[in-house]
């Protein structure tokens, strides 16, 4: 079973303005408009209390579209959603809760990388790149930027840390 985990983005979901045009937010871009649409059997949407309304709006929009993937909201209290240590601790608690229903060794864990604060994104990257958690990363970018660079708007991201290291030799 493929399980997706993501953070709620404040005031950017389920739709956002890009270049003065109303566009799908990151969750809709991935779960509705990409090659990943229909590939997940469950989605856990992590939210801090301050973004709970945004999380509920995402769930309502996904449900109205007939999304085949059920989404559960996990409210994660964080005093400071920019504190890397607090975020790591909150993720540890959230992943333990997810593990109760979807054992992580029996399910394929995917993470939507670019939702939440930049610090939340960097914690995901560090945890996966260092092998602390076994998860595959999904990265998205606005379609116009992706087209200009010749990449897909939504794609799997697997950092090659050794290649990065060589860049600085």
How far, in Å, are 42, 134, 149 from residue 93 at the CA level? 18, 16, 37
Report how far residue 126's alpha carbon sits from residue 88's, in angstroms, rounded to the nearest whole number.
10
Neighbours of 131 (CB within 10 A): 7
**φ, ψ at 168 (rounded to 5°):** -105, 5
Does this model's pTM top 0.75? My answer is yes
For the cut 90, the answer to whether the pLDDT of residue 4 exceeds it is: yes
Per residue in 43-91, pLDDT tens?
Answer: 999 999 999 998 998 899 888 887 678 999 999 999 999 999 999 999 9
CATH architecture under which domain 2-167 falls: 3-Layer(aba) Sandwich (3.40)
**pLDDT band at 138, cuts 50/70/90?**
very high
Domain residue limits, the chain: 2-167
Query: Tokens representing 134?
Result: 């076994």
pLDDT of residue 16: 73
- Range in 15-19, 26-30, 40-44 with the lowest mean pLDDT: 15-19
């Amino acid at each position: 079973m493929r399980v997706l985990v993501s953070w709620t983005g404040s005031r950017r979901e389920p739709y956002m303005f890009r270049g003065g045009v109303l566009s799908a937010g990151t969750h809709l871009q991935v779960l509705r408009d990409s090659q990943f649409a229909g590939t997940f059997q469950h989605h856990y949407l992590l939210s801090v209390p301050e973004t709970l309304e945004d999380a509920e709006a995402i769930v309502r929009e996904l449900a109205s579209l007939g999304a085949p993937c059920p989404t559960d909201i996990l409210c994660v209290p964080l005093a400071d959603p920019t504190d890397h240590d607090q975020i790591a601790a909150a993720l540890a608690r959230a992943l333990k809760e997810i593990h109760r229903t979807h054992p992580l060794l029996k399910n394929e864990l995917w993470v939507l990388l670019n939702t939440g604060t930049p610090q939340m994104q960097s914690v995901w990257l560090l945890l996966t790149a260092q092998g602390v958690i076994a998860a595959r990363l999904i990265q998205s970018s606005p379609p116009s930027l992706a087209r200009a660079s010749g990449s897909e708007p939504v794609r799997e991201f697997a950092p090659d840390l050794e290649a990065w290291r060589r860049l600085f030799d």
